[in-house]
Amino acid sequence: MGSEASLHLQINPVTNEPFLRLSSPHENIIITPPRVGDDEHLLVLFSDIRIAAWLYPISIPFTRAHAQAMLREAKDEADALLNTKCSPNTGHTNSHPRFVGGCPVKCIREVRNDGTDVFIGYITVHRGVYEDVPDETKRRTIMEENEKKPVGDPSIRWSIRNVLLPDYHGRGIMTSVIGQMVHGWIVPRMNGRYIVAFTFASNIGGERVLEKNGFVKVAVFEKMVRGEGTKVNHMEWKMQIA
């Protein structure tokens, strides 16, 4: 590790692991790359029906095989981002950090007083899915166009998904996580200017967390989820240029 991708991340001096730290009063919360063994934590997280019921697409039941596949994909992406030199962007001065095409830190952890940490949540950033486009052919075409855009293109539509263990709800942690992810990574390191998120309309808490970070509800649509029609909020965040 040590590529330009680690810019804006702190480095653990003992383990050499990069991480993104939240600001006060949540400075004991960090976001790290996936680690070997995190599939156990993912299994606990996503098999909790209190969490899974609010998420889609997520398999119910969420099995060990699902957790292992999720970790493998996440770790491959994180390792590639951290170990590959970033391509220089154009249109910026040499002092401007180079952009990357994703985020290597995904695992939310609470750091204890003795320096150990515990896994408490998960957040992902990826090129936008288009759940709001009902026509499958049109959706596939738009997604392909979004995927073809070069790294650093400010018109890329990004999607954010997040989940936190229920015991940590109501403390403002996820609000801080999303804020730090947006302003501490997506904007400066990915040149992200356009982010979407989808929540069930009945998930008032999830909607409020996004609103606190400047996301605006632009539409409500109905989608079949596990065989039932469900109302879904389409939330958007766009960079405000002064």
Q: Are 30 and 21 in contact (CB under 8 A)?
A: yes
Inter-CA distances, 92 with 75, 155, 191, 194, Å: 30, 16, 11, 19
Torsion of CA 213, 216, 220, 223, to 10 degrees: -40
Pairing, β 216-225 against β 194-200: unpaired
Range with the lowest mean pLDDT among 47-51, 81-85, 135-139? 81-85
* Residue percentage of the chain with pLDDT more than 90: 77
Distance CA 196, CA 159 (A): 5
Q: Whole-number mean pLDDT of the chain?
A: 89
CB-CB neighbours of 219 under 10 Å: 10
- The amino acid at 115: G
Residue partners of 148: CB distance under 8 A and separation at least 6:
none
Q: Domain coordinates of the chain in residue numbers?
A: 4-238
Q: What is the pLDDT of residues 125-183, one digit of tens each?
A: 999 889 999 999 999 999 999 999 999 999 999 999 999 999 999 999 999 999 999 99
Helix axes 64-83, 38-46, angle to 10 degrees: 130
Model confidence pLDDT, tens digit, residues 11-42: 999 999 999 999 999 999 999 999 999 999 99
Rounded CA-CA distance 114/231 in Å is 44
Q: Greater confidence, 60 or 142?
A: 142
Could you give the strand order of the β-sheet that contains 228-238, starting from the edge strand earlier in sequence?
Answer: 10-11, 18-21, 29-32, 107-111, 117-127, 158-164, 194-200, 228-238, 216-225
What is the pTM (predicted TM-score) of this model?
0.90
Superfamily of the domain at 4-238: Gcn5-related N-acetyltransferase (GNAT) (3.40.630.30)
